[in-house]
């Protein structure tokens, strides 16, 4: 197929400074594959300058990654699913992943009920792993719509981990992929933290492209992603992402996240509080 740009790409869901070289290598390998399929005008570098929400709505988006909850709640037709990734990390099972409920290593908490009245570090109130899965987990324990003593928004999972490590907050729900990548490459970021519980599982963070992409385009993009991931044997940096492959997926696969939302609401706990 022939598809002329300009095209942009962003892999910002798992793109801290210590993984940017790995994501750059993945994009370089993918660009090479896509050029064979007739794509041109692709940006040499990943777009890291703009907010993710702006990039997801850009009609020039060739490949990106988003959270499954906003995919189902407000992205609408702005993006088209490429597929769901498979990660080789604790908490992942095929295309599914979960959140780890983390607390300070020395804390005496034994189960979720012990967290009642504690200060929560929340990465973003539109996050599936930081908010939606945790809401689902604690909804049965809430009383009159409340469970936590306070909710502090941090802006990111790594910030939430640091907040718990510093003792500013007592608990956070962290995407198991974020936690696993940090444990593997930056153990200083997970030192002093303990996994208290795991939430229910849902499909991992989807790879997406621009809205209205054809089935043929999606197949080519997914093939290029998988071929780029397979190049980890020649380019070890790609292996640092712990990606194994990307499986075909549709929005119906992510409907379980809305079920978790509905169950929280039905339990009288629509918002983390």
Closest CA to 200 of 261, 144, 149, 143: 261
Q: How confident is the model over 216-264, as pLDDT tens digits?
A: 999 999 999 999 999 987 899 999 999 999 999 999 999 999 999 999 9
Domain limits, the chain: 3-87+204-257, 96-202
Does the fold of domain 96-202 match that of domain 3-87+204-257?
Answer: yes
- DSSP secondary structure of 139-192: GGG-BTTB--SEEEE-SSHHHHHHHHHTTS-SEEEEEHHHHHHHHHH-HHHHTT
| Rounded average pLDDT over 82-103 | 98
CA neighbor of 152 nearest in space, from 167, 139, 138: 167
Name the CATH superfamily housing domain 96-202: Periplasmic binding protein-like II (3.40.190.10)
CATH architecture, domain 3-87+204-257: 3-Layer(aba) Sandwich (3.40)
157-216 per-position pLDDT tens digit: 999 999 999 999 999 999 999 999 999 999 999 999 999 999 999 999 999 999 999 999
pLDDT bin (cut points 50, 70, 90) of residue 38 is: very high
Check pLDDT > 90 for residue 107.
yes
C-alpha 217, offset from chain centre: 23
Burial-class residue 270 by CB neighbours within 10 Å (0-12, 13-18, 19+): middle
């Amino acid at each position: 197929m022939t598809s002329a740009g300009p095209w942009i790409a962003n892999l910002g869901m798992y793109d801290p400074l210590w993984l940017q070289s790995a994501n750059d290598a993945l994009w370089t390998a993918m660009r090479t594959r896509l050029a064979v399929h007739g794509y041109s005008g692709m940006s040499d570098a990943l777009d890291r300058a703009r907010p993710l929400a702006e990039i997801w709505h850009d009609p020039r988006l060739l490949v990106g990654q988003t959270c499954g909850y906003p995919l189902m709640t407000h992205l609408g037709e702005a993006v088209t699913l490429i597929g769901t990734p498979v990660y080789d990390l604790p908490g992942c099972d095929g295309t599914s992943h979960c959140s780890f409920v983390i607390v300070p290593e020395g804390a005496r908490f034994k189960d979720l009920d012990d967290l009642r009245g504690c200060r929560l570090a929340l990465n973003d109130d539109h996050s599936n792993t930081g908010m939606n899965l945790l809401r689902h987990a604690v909804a049965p324990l809430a009383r009159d719509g409340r469970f936590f003593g306070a909710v502090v928004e941090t802006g990111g999972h790594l910030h939430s981990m640091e907040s718990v490590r510093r003792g500013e907050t007592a608990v956070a729900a962290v995407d198991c992929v974020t936690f696993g990548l940090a444990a593997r490459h930056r153990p200083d970021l997970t030192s002093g933290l303990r996994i208290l519980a795991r939430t229910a599982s849902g499909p991992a963070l989807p790879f997406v492209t621009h809205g209205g992409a054809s089935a043929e385009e999606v197949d080519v993009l997914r093939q290029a992603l998988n071929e780029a991931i397979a190049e980890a044997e020649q380019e070890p940096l790609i292996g640092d992402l712990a990606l194994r492959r990307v499986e075909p997926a549709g929005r119906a696969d992510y409907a379980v996240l809305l079920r978790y939302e509905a169950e929280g609401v039905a339990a009288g706990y629509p918002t983390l509080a």
